[in-house]
A and B are shown apart, each in its own frame.
Chain A
Amino acid sequence: MSEVKIYFNNIWLAFYTAAVGMRRTFLHLFTPAVTIQYPDVKLKLPERARNRLYVNIDDCIGCDQCSMACPVDCITIQTIKGTPDQDLGTTSTGQKKRLHVPLFDIDIAKCCYCGLCVYPCPTECIVMTDVYEFSEYDRSNLIYRYSIMTPQDIEQAKEKLKKSEEEAAAKKAAAATAAAAAKLAAPATSAPAAPAKTEPINPSPDAPGQAKS
């Protein structure tokens, strides 16, 4: 192309391409907007969307597996062993609850929404919901406390456990003394006082729990 031709061609192209673009934008003036008016209209989340954690504490057996699975340690669980005479009820999946859960805290500010805590739960009591609007002015409000036990309940449970442990220890001690007595009885001498006194100190309060679990 000669210089002159290029010159006029450029001018033609400038107008032509501008016209193409402006036609396109003009058509877009009348296409419906894709905007979602968020607080008024919300998109439906996908079925497996992972958002705020929820714990159905009635179903929790205090197994601590969710807390162990958590990569950022945002779940804190404490348990108190139930005593044999107590019936803590069953979960909706029919599992028997054996532990009180006096503390089940989730620091949702730390949570990374990986969902790893959901899978190990044997009773499916920790789930990810589709709630995503839970900002707070104070960070401490983001620690969700799921335990429904009151301080009195916790106190009672602890006392009960202590008592039952003491009873168990006493029983054990008694059994031990009895055994010792029986042993001693065989050689036909009597010195039962000494072992009965020392024995109850031996088992520490959590020793039976560890042994059992």
Chain B
Amino acid sequence: MLDIATAYNKYKFLGNDFLTWIWFLIETDQTISSLLNTKDAVTLEVGNSIVLENKLGDKSKEKITIKGDQAGLEEGTTALKKGAWVTQINLICKINEDEYKFTIKGESFNITSLKTPKIELSKKKDEIEGLVLEKAFSCFKIFEVIDTLFLKYLEKRTVDDWNNKGLQDVKNWIESF
């Protein structure tokens, strides 16, 4: 295994490329459940924020942040056309009846502002253990979705026809704006 700090910097693009692909999946109405190979009904939506970055000619970067519950994503799609990629996205994930909201950062896969389905809080000592475990399982579900989708994405990217099929589909989507 590579040195952790070196690997973090060298391969952070994988996370950003993945988030861009996630946005593509959402906008082109692809079935997340079948990608995850699960019987659960899993859907993803873009939540209330998305951050994109674009490298400019020199060493400087352009950062585009879109925030707000009903915000239009036109600036984001324009940035994609200019060569930007998603570095952070707020997602709404529905797994059957349960709704999860969270923000994921591409380079670190850190999860922030994670809201899990509501659980009845109890102060009784013997119920705390059950409550903790239930909360923990809720968090794990999101990581399972992310990890499975990420590895699925890498599987697709490392096959021979990626350039003709997968990449071309994303390019066509970007060109459609």
Please say whether chains A and B are actual partners in one complex. Answer: no
